[in-house]
Structure 1
Amino acid sequence: MKLRRVYSGDRLELQSLQSDGSWASGADAGVFGGAVFDPAWELERARGHHDAAGHVLPFQPTSFRDFMLYEQHAVDAARGLVRRFHPGQSRAAEGIERLTGKPFPLFKPKALFYRQPIYYMSNHLSFVPSGTTVAVPSYSTALDYELELGFVLRAPLFNAAPAEALDAIGAFVVVNDFSARDVQRAEMATGLGPQKAKHFASSMSVQAVTADEILPRIDDLTGFVAINGDAVSAVSSRGMRWSLGELLAHASRDEHLYAGELFATGTLPGGSGMETGHWLRPGDQLTLAIDQIGEISHPISSR
């Protein structure tokens, strides 16, 4: 079932898509974890989003954990980062890759990636809906996007087994993790993870799709990235290092997870400009889509 919220000025209404293409009110918010935030605060938050974009988020996440599940993305992104910021080293690495027929060793993820799911926590309050104009941060000259699969808990978890964890997923959305790559390089070198490189904005599709429709085909989702109407890459959900159940089981290990928390898979291979060389510039129109769920679109502006 596809779901969306509509802002009417004095209330938020959750609607579901009917078989005839119309939207009907009265959908159950339980797939998003139910009511969490103060209603007056959430209504004011939605008003700001509606004024800026003409849309609102399908739900307001209570936290955001962003994983990295795709080895291919990690390798291609590292290769693209070196190509952009260290062209001399990039040429040397490319030569070694041609000789060996394998990825340059330093482009592969760290060893922990192969032992457990890895993630960072970002700013869940900086999410904006599709349609919002996003400005290049004043401190960055390397704005990037990341097309990801997001999912929200409908029920709490604690020391969950993978099957139990999978059953707690309520709905899926398209997630975009904006990234200031030049700033990210310096921040990651501190060992504390990204900060200003990520926290200024993330975005979400206006529509969500219930888990019963997506989980049976979780490895067969497809999508694309387009800039100014031109497709620059195609993506697929195939090839996760860890299953979503394993991901949530790991996150819930001796830690309480709550309904309404948002998780993301990390970038689908080919879903970032750092991989493909298509970086964002003021005046661009960015579109990110997962065909079976929905899309995100943003005009990019200067400040």
Structure 2
Amino acid sequence: MKLRRVIADGRLELQSLGPDGSWAPAPDPSVLGGPVFDPAWELAAAQRHHGLAGCVLPFQPASFRDFMLYEDHAIDAARGLVRRFHPAQSRAAETVEKLTRKPFPLFKPKPLFYRQPIYYMSNHLSFVPSGAPVAFPSYSTALDFELELGFVLKAPLFNASSAEAVDAVGAFVVVNDFSARDVQRAEMATGLGPQKAKHFVSSMSAVAVTADEILPILESLSGSVTINGRTVSTVSSAGPQWTIGDMLAHASRDEKLYPGELFATGTLPGGSGMETGHWLRPGDRITLSIEQVGEISHQITS
């Protein structure tokens, strides 16, 4: 079932898409986590988003944990980062890879990636819907995108098993984790993870799709990145290091998770400009899509 929110008669209304292609009030708002924020605050946020994008978020996230599930993304992103900021070292690493026919060792994820799901927490209040214009941060010259699969909890979790965790997933969305890569390099070197490199804005699709439609095909989803009308990359959800059940079970260890919290898989391989060399520039129109889930589109401004 596809779900969206609209502003109707001065209030937020959750709607579902019927078989005839028409939208009608949704029968069960709890699938997206139910009420979390003060209604007046949430309506004001939705009105602001509608003014920017002509639509609103399908739900306002209560938090945002962004994982990194894909080894291929981690390796190719490291290659791309070195290629842009350290071209001499990039050429040397490329030579080593040609000789060994293996990824350069420093491009591989850290050992913890292989022992447990890893994630960082970002700014859940900076989400905007598809269609909103996105400006370069004033402190960055290296704006990037990240095409990710997101999902929201419909039920609480605490010390959950993987199976229990999957049962608590309510719906899926497309997530874009915008990144200021030049700033991220310095912040990550502190050992505290990204801050201003990530927190300025994130985005999600205007429509959510209930879990019953996506879970059976979770690792066979395909998607694409289009910039200025040209497809520059295709992606697949196949081959994660960890399942979403593993992700949630790990996150819920001695920590209560609540309905309305948003999680993301991290970038699907090939889903960032850092990997493909297609960095964003002012004036670009970028569209990120995952088939059967949705899409996000933004105009990049200076």
TM-score for both structures, normalised by structure 1: 0.99
Superposition map of 1:1-303 within 5 A: 1-8=1-8, 10-302=10-302
Q: CA deviation at 1:21?
A: 1.1
Secondary structure in 1 aligned to 2:81?
helix
Q: Distance in 2 between matches of 1:229 and 1:27?
A: 37
Q: Is the 8 A contact 1:226 1:287 kept in 2?
A: yes
Cα deviation code 1:10-52 (max 9, x no counterpart): 1111111111111111331111111111111100000000011
The one-letter code sitting in structure 1 at the alignment partner of 2:189 is: A
Cα deviation code 1:272-297 (max 9, x no counterpart): 00000000000000100001110000
Q: Is the 8 A contact 1:9 1:47 kept in 2?
A: no
Q: CA deviation at 1:98?
A: 0.5
Q: CA deviation at 1:9?
A: 5.4
TM-score for both structures, normalised by structure 2: 0.99
Q: Distance in 2 between matches of 1:277 and 1:231?
A: 13
Q: Is the 8 A contact 2:3 2:26 kept in 1?
A: no
Cα deviation code 1:38-71 (max 9, x no counterpart): 1111000000000111010000000000000000
Structure 1: give runs of 5+ residues left out of the alignment: none
Q: CA deviation at 1:8?
A: 2.7
The one-letter code sitting in structure 1 at the alignment partner of 2:42 is: E
Q: Is the 8 A contact 2:74 2:109 kept in 1?
A: yes
Q: CA deviation at 1:127?
A: 0.2
Q: Is the 8 A contact 1:140 1:180 kept in 2?
A: yes
Secondary structure in 2 aligned to 1:292?
coil
Q: Distance in 1 between matches of 2:197 and 2:278?
A: 18
> Which 10-residue stretch deviates more, 9-18 or 203-212?
9-18
Cα deviation code 1:199-229 (max 9, x no counterpart): 0000000000000000000000010000001
Q: Distance in 2 between matches of 1:23 and 1:293?
A: 17
RMSD: 0.6
Q: Distance in 2 between matches of 1:44 and 1:55?
A: 13
Q: Distance in 2 between matches of 1:128 and 1:9?
A: 22
Q: Is the 8 A contact 1:152 1:262 kept in 2?
A: yes
Q: Is the 8 A contact 1:165 1:245 kept in 2?
A: yes
Q: Distance in 2 between matches of 1:212 and 1:112?
A: 31
Q: Is the 8 A contact 2:221 2:291 kept in 1?
A: yes
Q: Distance in 2 between matches of 1:237 and 1:26?
A: 29
Q: Distance in 2 between matches of 1:204 and 1:8?
A: 21
Secondary structure in 2 aligned to 1:283?
coil
Q: CA deviation at 1:7?
A: 1.4
Q: Distance in 2 between matches of 1:206 and 1:26?
A: 15
Aligned-pair identity in percent equals: 78
